[in-house]
Amino acid sequence: MVLPMSHGAGQRPPALGLLALLVTVPGVVVSLAGLHPSPPLAAVAFGVAIVGAAFVLAWAAEAAQVDISAGLAVAVLALIAVLPEYAVDFVFTARGGEAVAAYGPSCLAPGEETSSCSLALANMTGANRILVGVGWALVVLIAWRRLRGRGEPSATATRVTLGRPDAVPLAFLALASLYCLVLPFKRTLSLADTVVLLAIFVAYSWRVSRAPAGEPDLIGPSAWVGGLPRRPRRLTVVAMFVVAAAVILLTAERFAESLVETGAQLGISEFLLVQWLAPLASEAPELLVAGLYAWRLHTSEALGALVSSKVNQWTLLVGTLPIVFAASSGGWSGLPIEAAQREELLLTAAQSLLAVALLVGRTLTVRSALLLLGLFVAQFALSAAVPSSWRGRELVVLSVVYLVLAAATLIRNRRLVVPLFRDGLVTPYRQLGADMCCTTTAGKLRLRERVTISSSR
């Protein structure tokens, strides 16, 4: 997570940092000792360890901004925040490759009800949809609630506005979303897809690396680390990365195993556990920190970081799955996309396109946030309502709704599309201007730096 923070809390002992490290201990001990508690208990222990490690990664990433440029921080450090998601997804992908190598193209090992290839894609699509349907909406709705608590204007007028530099991740997210719309019509996620998606990610990383350096704004454990002298600071940041990575490596595979075993033991669909519970565990730090900064009305930083994380997940994560699959299967056939996963991929790509369309003007209103959240919740309501013989068709219907809304939004805001791509892909950062915006409340115009809540009566 890349969220600029304030140095105010830097003098306090990093109690939260110690707590995050402590909660990783049970999962690490169980893994190293080779213990085998009941699957639900193991899932909790390993899941909590991953959450703790993700917080440590987030704080290390934030503190690292003291030593690297702000633009590079957005690309690299947002990537670090989603490493737990990568680890869990890579476990299922590697197992799918091993199953194909041992048992043939079905990707289904003996005794399994759901193939590991299907679980790998389920984990990826679930994480992407949570990030947009819950994360993006969360930032705006929390900010609206805070303004309402202060006696500010009504909900329908509140909006979160991003700066012109945020056009960069939005433009690359639009490119990735358009390409990923092709994936549901393919039989495999291939190395050709890897080339395209990694090219988008590399171009995005190069583009944001050209951004000028900025003064990081840190609080809590990241501020304590960032306030250390140069050598101790860098050693501490490296140590935090190493420890968190070690925790993730020790627990990710066991977490995936325990989720599948929990589903079998409790009669819960392992597909649902892997698609929703595992991403919630790995995305929890990102969503919690974004919510915290929305509560403090640092909304542009919160939403901008979530957009950057979405770019990473939709390009690098999806693009590296075929590489992991090829390495584990010993072949070049590509990660199989089963029929059910085509519908999931279609829905995920359609949601991404609508999200980009809603932000084409670099603003996200409460109504837009409620739309994203409502459509996200609707998939569960529809799944529960349709008969089993129709299962999956509701995802196609919902995908069409997303696409129609995206098209209508883009047509209505068509004059903003070209400027967004021009700013995102071509305009030099020095011409994008400082991250300043206007906040309007009760008809009074106030200029605030780095605070981007707009509302009017």
pLDDT in tens, 274-306: 888 888 777 776 787 777 778 777 777 788 878
Out of 144-158, 226-240, 382-396, pick the least confident: 144-158
Indicate if the pLDDT at residue 105 is higher than 50: yes
What is the C-alpha to C-alpha distance for residues 355 and 27, in angstroms, rounded to an integer? Answer: 36
- pLDDT for the residue numbered 241: 83
Indicate if the pLDDT at residue 155 is higher than 60: no
**DSSP secondary structure string for all residues of 275-286:** IIIHHHHHHHHH
Closest CA to 170 of 416, 457, 444: 416
- pLDDT for the residue numbered 454: 42
For residue 163, what pLDDT band results from cuts at 50, 70 and 90?
confident
Only one residue has tokens 């700066």, namely 163
Only one residue has tokens 């071509």, namely 426
- pLDDT for the residue numbered 144: 85
Mean pLDDT on 260-275: 81
Mean pLDDT on 350-372: 93
Closest CA to 82 of 313, 314, 345, 352: 313
**DSSP secondary structure string for all residues of 203-235:** HHHHHHHTSPP------HHHHHHHTS-HHHHHH
What is the C-alpha to C-alpha distance for residues 87 and 96, in angstroms, rounded to an integer? Answer: 14
Mean pLDDT on 346-352: 95
Only one residue has tokens 């947002």, namely 78
For residue 85, what pLDDT band results from cuts at 50, 70 and 90?
confident
pLDDT digits (tens, 9 = 90+) for 107-125: 877 777 778 888 889 989 9
Q: What is the mean pLDDT of the chain?
A: 81
- pLDDT for the residue numbered 293: 73
Closest CA to 250 of 26, 32, 18: 32
Only one residue has tokens 């059910």, namely 340
Pairing label, strands 453-454, 159-161: antiparallel
Half-sphere exposure of 416 (CA within 13 A, CB side): 17
Out of 241-245, 329-333, 431-435, pick the least confident: 431-435
- pLDDT for the residue numbered 287: 80
- pLDDT for the residue numbered 433: 67
Mean pLDDT on 65-74: 63
Out of 35-49, 106-120, 349-363, 416-430, pick the least confident: 106-120
Indicate if the pLDDT at residue 328 is higher than 50: yes
Indicate if the pLDDT at residue 451 is higher than 60: no
For residue 443, what pLDDT band results from cuts at 50, 70 and 90?
very low
- pLDDT for the residue numbered 5: 40
Q: What percent of the chain has pLDDT over 90?
A: 33
For residue 360, what pLDDT band results from cuts at 50, 70 and 90?
very high
For residue 414, what pLDDT band results from cuts at 50, 70 and 90?
very high
Q: Do 22 and 56 meet the contact criterion of CB atoms below 8 Å apart?
A: no
DSSP 3-state of 309: helix
For residue 442, what pLDDT band results from cuts at 50, 70 and 90?
very low
- pLDDT for the residue numbered 217: 66
Pairing label, strands 444-449, 453-454: unpaired
DSSP-assigned letter for residue 166: G
Indicate if the pLDDT at residue 14 is higher than 80: no
Q: Could you give the residue ranges of the DSSP H alpha helices within 65-136? A: 70-81, 83-103, 116-130
Question: How many helices (H) and strands (E) would you count in the chain?
Answer: 20, 7
Q: Is 218 left (phi over 0), alpha (psi -120 to 50) or beta?
A: beta
- pLDDT for the residue numbered 82: 67
What is the C-alpha to C-alpha distance for residues 9 and 223, in angstroms, rounded to an integer? Answer: 7
- pLDDT for the residue numbered 151: 59
pLDDT digits (tens, 9 = 90+) for 167-207: 899 999 999 999 999 999 999 999 999 999 999 999 998 88
Rg of the Cα atoms in the chain: 22
CA 210 → CA 169, 307, 339, 430, distances in Å?
Answer: 13, 18, 42, 9
Closest CA to 18 of 235, 240, 232, 219: 240
Mean pLDDT on 150-157: 54
DSSP 3-state of 15: helix
Mean pLDDT on 388-398: 81
Look at the chain and count its residues. Answer: 457
For residue 86, what pLDDT band results from cuts at 50, 70 and 90?
confident
* 251 or 450, which is more confident: 251
- pLDDT for the residue numbered 10: 41
Indicate if the pLDDT at residue 379 is higher than 70: yes
Mean pLDDT on 226-247: 87
Beta-bridged to residue 100, according to DSSP, are: none
Indicate if the pLDDT at residue 359 is higher than 90: yes
What is the helix, strand, coil percentage profile of the chain, to 5? 75, 5, 20
Mean pLDDT on 210-231: 77
- pLDDT for the residue numbered 285: 67
Q: Which amino acid is at 169?
A: P
Give the pTM: 0.81
3-state secondary structure labels for all residues of 16-41: HHHHHHHCCHHHHHHHHHCCCCCHHH
